[in-house]
Amino acid sequence: MPNFHPLALSPRLAHALRILAVLAFLGAMAGGCFDSETSPNTPDPAVSEYPFPDTAEQLMANVRAAYQDMDIAEYAFTLHEDFVFLFSSECLIAPDGCAYTREEDLLHTGRLLGGETGYDQAHDRVLPAVRDIEFVEFENLTGWSEVSPEEPGFPGGMKAMYAVTALLTLNTADDNSYGIDALQVFYLKQEMGTAPGGDSRLRFYLMGQRDLETD
């Protein structure tokens, strides 16, 4: 599970915003915690405005860019139709089954990237939205390797462990931010996709993302 550290946060909001940041960044925001009761618009563009992901490195660059641009349509373009997000076993706010489907991930990530405010139900108050996301670190620690047959869920794929450090700036009058440190495993798969111009070419998709336990 990621480590979260306030950088310049009002003490009275620290606990509530820590929970918001955990839930939002992992795509685990429960229904009612954001102000929208309906699914945000998450269109899947036929062709991305980002460089075509014909390498693993380009796909991951597009994932990073989509978060920093807070662009849910571009983020959706990186995901395989069978994408799964896997929560760590120590995550106290994980949903039943400790996993999200592509649709569930897009729902909650869309709320985060859409700049929606949150709601602290325990204290009946609105929490500020995330205004900006910046990755301080997004580093492949292991290089890419094939997923072994003994590792279920992502047959024919490849994986790598990433160190992720991100800065979330909140939409407040003062400069309030949150830092996030995490280790995550990303699973990719190469399949045919539509390239600019309408041609079919091999491209990479994000098949899965696993949040790891950290000390």
CA 175 to chain centroid:
23
- Looking at residue 41, its pLDDT comes to 52
- pTM, full prediction: 0.78
pLDDT tens-digit map of 74-122: 999 999 999 999 887 776 666 777 888 999 989 888 888 888 877 666 6
- Work out the pLDDT band at 172, boundaries 50, 70, 90: confident
Beta strands in the chain (DSSP E): 3-6, 79-86, 99-101, 118-120, 125-127, 130-140, 145-146, 158-170, 177-194, 200-211
Of the chain, the percentage scoring pLDDT greater than 70 comes to 72
pLDDT > 90: what percent of the chain?
A: 39
Asked if the model's pLDDT at residue 200 lies above 60, the reply is yes
Looking at residue 4, what is its pLDDT?
44
What one-character DSSP code corresponds to residue 38? S
Give all domains of the chain, ordered by start, each with its CATH number.
Answer: 3-42+51-211 (3.10.450.50)
How high is the mean pLDDT of the chain?
A: 78
- 189: confidence class by pLDDT, cuts 50, 70, 90: very high
DSSP strands (E only) in 64-124? 79-86, 99-101, 118-120
Q: What does the pLDDT average to over 150-171?
A: 88
Q: 188 in helix, strand or coil?
A: strand
- pLDDT score at 178: 77
- Is 53 or 87 the better-scoring residue by pLDDT? 53
Rounded to an integer, the average pLDDT of 27-53 is 57
Per-residue model confidence (pLDDT) at position 111: 83
Average pLDDT over residues 169-190: 86
Distance CA 162, CA 180 (A): 13
